[in-house]
Amino acid sequence: MMGFNPFHEWWKRDGYVSWPAYLMWVPFITIVIVIAWIVITIGGPMLGLLQWIKNKTKTLFY
């Protein structure tokens, strides 16, 4: 008796999607990844700098 396997032939799609439809999303996904990378790269040090300034001003006034 064969058991239930939810991953059986998971690669088979219900319908056919042409390659241009896949390739159309490549620039969009690239732009999203680049924007996320910029936000993380610039946002991390900026938040760290703001936290450092906040801690320095807290020790100056209290």
Q: What is the pLDDT of residue 20?
A: 83
* Whether residue 1 has pLDDT greater than 60: no
Q: What is the pLDDT of residue 4?
A: 76
* Whether residue 58 has pLDDT greater than 70: yes
**How many other C-beta atoms can be found within 10 angstroms of the C-beta atom of residue 1?**
2
| Measured distance CA(57)–CA(62) in Å, rounded | 8
Rounded to 10 degrees, the C-alpha dihedral 42/48/54/60 comes to: -120
Q: What is the pLDDT of residue 13?
A: 67
DSSP, res 15: S
| pLDDT tens digits, 10-57 | 677 666 767 787 888 899 999 999 999 999 999 999 999 999 999 888
- Which pair of tokens denotes residue 35? 């924007």
